[in-house]
Structures are given as C-alpha cells and as structure tokens.
Structure 1
C-alpha cells in the first residue's frame, strides 16, 4: 500500500511541476502586438501586447512609454519592463512624482496591475509593481 501511495504521489507531483513549468515558459509569449498611436495613448506612441495565462485567458498589457522595455536575460523571454531608467538630459521631471508606465488588464479591460516609476534626482527613475503585472514578454520577430 505504501508503494502505491508513493507512486501516486510521484505521478501527481510530476504532473504539477510540468504544468507549472509550461505556465512559466508560456506566460510571456505575446500572441498579438499592436502599435498605439499618439491619439490613442495620450500624445505619445505606445505598444499593446496580448499574452495568455495558463487557462488561456487573454491578458492585455499596454506599455505607454516603450523606452521602459529592455532586453532581458530571463529564459523564454525577449523583453522586460525596466527596474531603473535614467532620462536623457533634454527631458526633465519633478523628483518625487510617480507615473504609470504600463498596465496589465483582463479581457474586460479591468486593470490587474500597473508598472509605476518614481522619479528621483537627475531624471533617475525607480520602478515597482502595483497589483499583478506581467513584466516579461516573448515577442516573435514576425510581430515586430
């Protein structure tokens, strides 16, 4: 009886681990990439990316400032939202202010999470997540 329980536990555990790995690898895969025009995005160009969770529910991420998208070293992803960014010297911001750089929404456009930058001295911004944000993206070159 203990051997049966051990075999059943191993089977269930292996199935759970493989499902978790598929979810981790597939979560950042972008199925749709759309360019946001300045008219749609408050005067600046942006990007809208559609990904799916493990249950194949669409998650829409709008990146309002694409300069916050950088190359990543994470496996199975091409881009990530930057932790820190320094503005070029020709742009100025007021230190201590915060702004939303990106938002992740469900299919009904209910906001699930935000990527927020807090500006410091010299145009140095530090970002943090509010809610449940998708941060990594695997964009196939055909979509670009």
Structure 2
C-alpha cells in the first residue's frame, strides 16, 4: 500500500504536505549532528526520502488542481519553478563552502519558510475574513 494516498485520504492534501515538510526539515536538523558512521548519515537520508515522497506529489497535485483549465501550461510552469528553485538553492548553498553533510542539511532546513507560509497563511486569511 502506498502511504501518500492513504494519508491524503485520511488527513487531506494540506496536512499531508505539512507532514512531509516536517519530515524533511527534521531530517536536516538531525543531519547537523555529527555523522561519524554510515548509519548516522543514512538515518536522516531515510527520513528525508519519506518526507520528499509525501511532499513532491502532494505539492504538485495541490498546485495543479486550482488550474484545471490550463493543466499543460501549469505543469510546464511548475517544472520551471522546481528546476529554477533547485538551481537557486544550490547557488545559495555553494556560497557558504560547507561540508557535504552540512550542505544536505541546509538544503532540507531551507524548506522551513515553506512550512511556515503553509501553516500561517491559512490563519492569517481566517483572521482577515473574521474582521
């Protein structure tokens, strides 16, 4: 059984996306600890893989679902943003000249603003609508 469709059915798309982001960000913080052994390096990678599997498909479906009339254009734009964003992340990370595990950890932790926006935007909209 695939876990992402099960979680989407049980919790919904946004909560599943938050769960995936939490897994990915947590793995970044775990990776910041010393990685002297192979297992201490691989555990955060396993957690990151679980988070990424929940995040990528869920975020793509959430982004595309709002624009059902222009699915082709939206898919192309989404791919461009994903590739461009990844390139920008790599460029920013390379400025710091960190070790490889630290670079991986920083990539994962850089998703923290996305989690904050996803969490806080709904609360802000609810407050604005209540006023």
TM tier, smaller: under 0.3
Of Structure 1 and Structure 2, which has the larger fraction of its residues in strand? 1
The answer to which structure, 1 or 2, has the higher relative contact order (CA under 8 A, 6+ apart) is 2
State TM-score, norm by structure 1.
Answer: 0.25
Higher helix share: 2
